[in-house]
Every structure is written in structure tokens, then in C-alpha cells.
Structure 1
Amino acid sequence: MRAVVQRVSEASVVIDGEIKGAVGQGFMILLGIHEEDTLSDVEYLVGKIAKLRVFEDDQGKMNRSIEAVSGSILSISQFTLYGETKKGNRPSFIKAARPETAIPLYEAFNQGLREQNIAVETGEFGADMKVSLVNDGPVTIILDTREK
């Protein structure tokens, strides 16, 4: 599993002209699911994200978690995070999980974050989404369960 975690002051996703999800301070996460990912990848990533200390404390140091700042998460499925471009100019997505595998893992990821008492808004798996965000910092962290 690969997650691009961006610290945001606000983020939203629009589908068919309607706002599907929106958050204030927190994270906007693009989540890519590999064909070999399992629930153990979900558990690892949820634990990392819930404890990730990238929000500033009183001394201006990145030392606080999303829970400590009462932040929320906008979670967006993003199969293109597994696009391979070694050959040619057109990315190959063969390592991205198929929907029958990816959807349950994406839903488990979001539920796992909610079980950590984090409010989670989502896009819609497979939909054409328009994502907007204000990256705070900017702070962007890439987490990959294959590199644990």
C-alpha cells in the first residue's frame, strides 16, 4: 500500500458537480493499493498515519499527531500511485489491485482510521473526482508498506 499524506488546512472532493467530502485541518490522503496488499498492510498504514507527528506544537516543531489537533482526513483512492513508467511513455497499472481486492481494503483502511477516533471523509472508488486542497507547510509524506 502506498499513501501520499498531505497536511492540509482544508481539502475537498467533488463528483459530478457535487461536494462528496470536505475537511478542515488534517490530512488529504491519496491511497494506492497493490495487487499483493492484505489487511496487515492496512493495519500498518492506519497505525502509522494515526501516530504521524507532523502538526506543530507550541514551539513550532512538528510534534503533534492528527488526534492531538482534532484533525480529520479526506481519503481518496488512487490506483495511479502504482503506475509504472520504465518502458515507454504510457504508464502501466498492472500492479495496482483490481477493484474486487482494492475496494474492501480501501474501506478497511477508512474504517481503521475511524476506529482511531479520526473523522474520515472519502471520495468514491473509481469515480472521476476533482480534488482540491490547501497543503499546509507544505508538508507531504509518502508511506509505503513495502518499505517497512
Structure 2
Amino acid sequence: MDEKRIAELRKFISTVTDPKISAFIDLKKLCQSGTYNLSVQMATEHAAKHGDFNYLNHLLTLVEGSVHATDLIFSLRPKLNFVLTETKPRKFKKATPEQVAKAAKQALSKPITVKTAPAKPSKKAAKPKISHDLMDSRLMLPGSYGHGKRR
């Protein structure tokens, strides 16, 4: 890739991973886009050449907790030697082939969890609805207009 295209992809990664913008991004559409695939390719080449995983870490942080994170990790396995840190947020770290094989065995034994939305509370626990209608209150005196009776 030429330098101009690399600069555009770096700007794309920084824009997409900005917390103010990432809240509004549909990850499914993003991961299917060509620009995202080119940015992953650029970040992979950068990591292979320089050993710097910063761009890949930004992309992993963006898709963390979704099925797209596992797709990203499995697409990078044949190209790079890395391990993932166990702490939150997970990050890529440079590793030897022995460390990669050990981490792959551990990853196969662990199930991957995906974030889900919390369930809505049941309606049984809800308080009864209180009416604020003046006709339902005892403030209406007999003989006054309407005197509290509904027809």
C-alpha cells in the first residue's frame, strides 16, 4: 500500500475507535465493509513489520464483546504470532510460536461469552397505577359540580 492510503486508513481507525463515534456504529455493517478489511490488512502488515500492535488493539477494543472479535482474532492467527492478555480490555502481545501454541490450547478449552442485553423486569413487580383524576379523589364535596359521581 502507498503512504497516502496508509495515512487514510490510520485516520479511519482513529475516527472509528473514538468513543464519541463508536457508540453510533453498527458493527455488522462495519465488519462487512471494504474499508474495514483494508484497515485490518494495514494494521496486520504494520504489526508484522514493526511488531507494533496498537492499530490492531484499537480495532479489537471496538469489536470486543461481539462475534466479530472472534472473527478478527481467527483471521490474524495464521499471519501473526501473538497472544491475548487476560485483563480487560484484552490486547494483542507479541509472542513466540511456543507461547502461541500454548495459548491456542487454552483458548479452545474456554467458552467465549458474548454480551447480551439485560432482561426487562417483569410486570408482576410493578406497583399498581395511581389515578390522578379529580373525579376519583375524595376531595369532591356532595352538592358541588359533578359531586364525584361518574355517569
Give TM-score scaled by structure 2 length: 0.26
Q: Flag the structure with higher helix content.
A: 2
Q: Which has the higher contact order (CA 8 A, sep 6+)?
A: 1
Q: TM-score, length-normalised on structure 1? A: 0.26
